[in-house]
Amino acid sequence: MITRLKTRLQRFRKHETGSVILVEFMILVPVLFGSFFMAMELGMYSIRQMQLDRGLEVTTREVRLNTARQFTHDDLKESICINSGFLPNCSETLRLEMVPVDPRNFVGLPDALDCVDTSQPVQPVRGFTLGEQHELMIMRVCYKFNPVFPSTGLGETFVKDGSGRVAMTSMSAFVQEPS
For residues 170 and 179, give the distance between their C-alpha atoms in angstroms, rounded to a whole number: 27
Query: Is-above-0.85 flag for pTM?
Result: no
CB 177 within 8 A of CB 64: yes
Q: Edge to edge, what strands does the sheet with 136-145 contain?
A: 94-101, 136-145, 166-175
- Helix (H) / strand (E) containing 99: strand 94-101
Q: What is the pLDDT along the chain (179 residues), one digit of tens a residue?
A: 788 888 888 887 777 666 667 778 888 899 999 899 999 999 999 999 999 999 999 999 988 888 777 888 888 999 999 999 888 888 888 988 888 888 888 877 777 777 865 544 444 555 666 666 778 888 899 999 999 888 887 888 888 888 888 999 999 998 877 76
Per the structure, how many domains does the chain have?
Answer: 1
Q: How many CA atoms lie less than 13 Å away from 41 in the CB half-sphere?
A: 21
CB 161 within 8 A of CB 122: no
For residues 175 and 89, give the distance between their C-alpha atoms in angstroms, rounded to a whole number: 30
Q: Which domain holds residue 84?
A: 2-175
